[in-house]
Amino acid sequence: MYPNPTSDILRVFVKGTHSITDLSGRVLQQVANTTTIDVSSFNAGVYFISNQQGETKSCIKN
């Protein structure tokens, strides 16, 4: 995924369903059938992006 860190749009390489969680594990957003995730409304911090295959990566929102 790129750019990381980001301030607004995060792009992922595989189109599919993605969940965005915060450090406490709370699901903030789920998106489907897209390669872009809008994180502009999130506070600055670290978030985790998980896909339907169970892969998880961290993302920094600045």
Tens-place pLDDT, residues 5-23: 999 999 999 888 999 999 9
Confidence of residue 47 (pLDDT cuts 50, 70, 90): very high
Residue 26, both tokens:
């709370």
pLDDT (tens digit per residue) in 29-41: 999 999 999 999 9
CB atoms within 10 A of CB 45: 11
Confidence of residue 45 (pLDDT cuts 50, 70, 90): very high
Residue 5, both tokens:
């860190």
Parallel, antiparallel, or unpaired: how do β-strands 27-38 and 45-51 relate? Answer: unpaired
Cα–Cα distance for residue pair 16/23, rounded to 1 Å: 22
- If phi over 0 gives left and psi between -120 and 50 gives alpha, with beta otherwise, what is residue 54? left
